[in-house]
Homo-oligomer: A and B are copies of this chain.
Amino acid sequence: DEEITDVAHLSEAFKEGQISWVDIHGFGDRQTIQQIGDLFELHPLLLEDVVNVPQRPKTEAYGDQILILVRMVQVYESGEIDMEQVSVILGKNWVLTFQEKSGDILDPVRKRIRNKTSRIRNSQSDFLAYAIVDTIIDAYYPALELLGNQLEEFEDEVIMDPTPELLRKLHRMKNRLVNLRRSIWPQREAINRLVRGDYPSISENVRIYLRDTYDHCVQTSEVAEMYREMVTGLMNTYLSSIANRTNEVMKVLTIMASIFIPLTFLAGIYGMNFDHMPELHMEWAYPMVWILMLLTAGGMLYYFWRKGWISLDASSVENEE
């Protein structure tokens, strides 16, 4: 539980006979990574997987070392979701973890280690590896919850107020979910291989714990899948909603135009300057034209009401919104 920046010191700190957890941040210095690799006798392909991020989450045995690649998810205040590869290497009596950036997601594990009576302190390295992986998987729950809350907000907006801005948000959300699912999905298989007992260095007892982690993996992957399905549904609803609004706009236009265009035509008729237009000189012609116009307008309104385009309900404006 100390911070070491020099590999030589690491070599000293790493005392045989004790279970050690070495947590390495950043891969800046290729040579240092190589030294660590030599110290722990890591397979060159294993080192490559650790350094060339992002790899697909997986579990892989190299001799009696097990490489567990998982993705750590972090939620920023801006709502953005960031994913980072964490490599957990389980050796005989040590656990090595590599991550690119420093994060505090593994703090709960550290706390449990410092606690002298905790189970983690009194168990083998496989239990420590389980604790690390479990903590990383559990961090998906708050991330998914955040996305779920955003989805719920979008749901009302999509029908009430479908703006291009919302479309863009939905689009971004969908890509984020597609991306998220892509990293959760292979984790199921990776953890499952640990549970199934492919690796003898993981004890039966720890496998029962890992079974729980596997269940969480499956659950998060199903939630991510469900959200993706829901956001796809929302985008279709968006299209329907826009079509609805266009229909609404068209009805207003059609009603206005259909009522006033014939009336304007009638007015145009009696605005003509022919010498011989007997109606112009009749005394009741002007009011008669008004009556004719009102009848025409009334007829159109009745027709539109029959078609259901006009509702007499005064609250229609409110309802639409």
Give A residues with C-beta under 8 Å from B: 43, 45, 48-49, 55-56, 58, 60, 62, 155, 158-159, 161-162, 164-165, 167-168, 171, 174-175, 178-179, 182, 186, 208-209, 211-212, 215, 218-219, 222, 226, 229-230, 232-247, 249-254, 256-258, 260-265, 267-277, 279-281, 283-286, 289, 303, 306-309, 317, 319-321
Q: Which of B155, B178, B241, B321 contacts A229, CB < 8 Å? A: B178
Contacts of A158 in B (CB 8 A): 171
B273 pairs with A237, CB closer than 8 A: no
Q: Contact at A274–B265, with CB atoms within 8 Å?
A: no
Does A243 lie within 8 Å of B244, measured CB to CB? no
- A199 nearest CB across to chain B (Å): 15
Known: A62-B208, A161-B308, A320-B307. A273 touches B275 (CB 8 A): no
Interchain CB contact under 8 A, B319 and A307: no
> Contact partner of A272 among B219, B247, B273, B309, CB < 8 A?
B273
Q: How far is the CB of A309 from chain B (nearest CB, A)?
A: 7
**Are B261 and A256 in contact (CB-based, < 8 A)?**
yes
Interface pair B167/A237, CB less than 8 Å apart: yes
Please tell me how many copies of the chain the complex holds. Answer: 5
What CA separation (Å) do A121 and B48 show in the bound complex?
21
CB of A159 within 8 A of CB of B167, answer yes
Q: Sorted from nearest, which 4 A-B pairs have the closest CB atoms?
A: A267-B268, A270-B272, A253-B254, A271-B271
**In this complex, what residue of B is CB-closest to A181?**
B226
Most chain B Cβ neighbours within 10 Å, of A219, A235, A274, A306: A274
Nearest CB in chain B: distance from A205 CB, A: 11
Q: Are B306 and A56 in contact (CB under 8 A)?
A: no
Chain B hits for A270, CB < 8 A: 272-274
- The docked-state distance in angstroms from the alpha carbon of A237 to that of B242 is 12
Query: Contacts of A55 on B, CB cut-off 8 Å?
Result: 215, 219
Q: Are A276 and B285 in contact (CB under 8 A)?
A: yes
Question: How many angstroms between the C-alpha atoms of A178 and B233 in the bound complex?
Answer: 11
Q: Which of B178, B230, B249, B269 contacts A267 (CB 8 A)?
A: B269
C-alpha gap A260/B209 in the complex (Å): 74
CA distance A161 to B239 in the complex (A): 17
Q: Which of B60, B162, B268, B285 contacts A271 (CB 8 A)?
A: B268
Cβ B167 vs Cβ A240 within 8 A: yes
